[in-house]
Amino acid sequence: MNSLRYSLAKKLLIPGLFVASLLINFSTATVAQETSVKPGINRSFENAKPQEFIEKFEIESREVFHQREEILKACRISPGSVVADIGAGTGLFTRAFSPLVGEQGRVIAVDISKNFLEHIQSTSEKLRQQNVETVLGKDVSANLPEGSIDLAFICDTYHHFEFPQKMMASIFNALKPGGRLIVVDFRRIEGQSSDWTLSHVRAGQDVVTQEILTTGFRYVGERSGSLRDNYLIEFQKPAGVPDLKSSIIPGIGGVAELTGAPEAPRTGAKVIFDVTASSAAGEVNAGLERAARLLNLYGAAGLKATDVNIAIILHGDAALSILTNDKGSAAASLPNPNLELIQKLNQAGVEIMVCGQTLARKKIAHMQVGEGVIITTSAMTTLINRQTDGYSLVPVN
């Protein structure tokens, strides 16, 4: 366990003290930081010549360039994401992010140097990276709208922030709830780091982490890998306790809207739910509810029911959930709530099937199967066929 994890763990053992410390530090930082923590550190960028910095930044001897693929992998960027490259410089990572976010995503290059931004814009046009845009930042703000980005990426730039608390507060504000922050910067260790690092970089990893935490972020962890001169740490913007919403299947399968969190729903997905879970009389089957929840996740992400292909195969005791009046249950006189849900799922384009072999073994007549449910040859062949066709399997048992 490294010293950072150990120090954070000790604080978390006494949460009251830790929270109090954060509140005190946060109020002090945001109110009192009126002077630069490193005056003049950005002077060389005032009239930057991009080609000169390309020869410094985009060379194999620079670790973040040499290990750029590893850094990109650690960012775990999903198609459609909005990524802000804070302190984009010559655009090394801006260019690399562009194909990862795809046509539906955006990459926003933020820098305080107009020359760098003009270079990035020109390069993006040559590369036909139409999803790249530029924003002129300030020394106290990234100048991004509230709740507009999914990921903020800061590489070898944090130590250039003259007003780190104000800058991080602006980035926190720009992130969507659940959005992430990735910081890559130089390791600054007395007696180990180079003289240049010790003189140029004002703070080490522990101090940087604490400064970011005072802004309201939660610490996710350090991504270990082959980085030696630099560290990569990840944070996330807390989303609070949001209400559950059900925008596509009303009244069931409610979900929290975490618009900036990673692994958001993607268009074109194909899913088959393998449902063996039984349900008590008068209760909704867990597999059908799970499908409703998936649809509502798509709705929460601003997508439509047609953006995902969903199939459900029920077998075993789960087959009793789709009978016309809960036949076989302890309380057959109770209305079956699954029948109404099946209609809603059908209307949303969900294909619902029941195993014909299960019906035969349980001596259930086909006429007892509710409307909107297809009887297939067997659950086994259904699952094999759908996975052969590229469907992802989600078991519910």
Q: What is the pLDDT of residues 365-397, one digit of tens each?
A: 999 999 999 999 999 999 999 999 999 999 999
Q: Which residue has better confidence, 205 or 1?
A: 205
pLDDT surpasses 70 at 6: no
Q: What is the mean pLDDT of residues 316-342?
A: 77
Query: Any idea where the domains of the chain sit in the sequence?
Result: 3-236, 249-396
- In the structure, what pLDDT confidence band is assigned to residue 225 with cuts at 50, 70 and 90? confident
Q: Give the architecture (CATH level 2) of 3-236.
A: 3-Layer(aba) Sandwich (3.40)
pLDDT surpasses 60 at 49: yes
Mean per-residue pLDDT over the chain, rounded: 88
pLDDT surpasses 80 at 8: no
Q: Which residue has better confidence, 354 or 26?
A: 354
pLDDT surpasses 80 at 290: yes
This prediction has a pTM of: 0.73
Fold adopted by 249-396: Hypothetical Protein Ychn; Chain: A, (3.40.1260)
Identify the burial level of 264 via C-beta atoms within 10 angstroms of its C-beta, where 0-12 means exposed, 13-18 middle and 19 or more buried.
Answer: buried
pLDDT of residue 33: 61
Residue 128 to residues 44, 97, 114, 125, 167, Cα–Cα distance (Å): 30, 13, 21, 5, 31
Q: What is the mean pLDDT of residues 27-46?
A: 70
Instruction: Count other Cβ atoms within 10 Å, centred on residue 239.
Output: 17
Q: What is the mean pLDDT of residues 266-288?
A: 93
pLDDT surpasses 90 at 150: yes
pLDDT of residue 20: 39
pLDDT of residue 347: 96
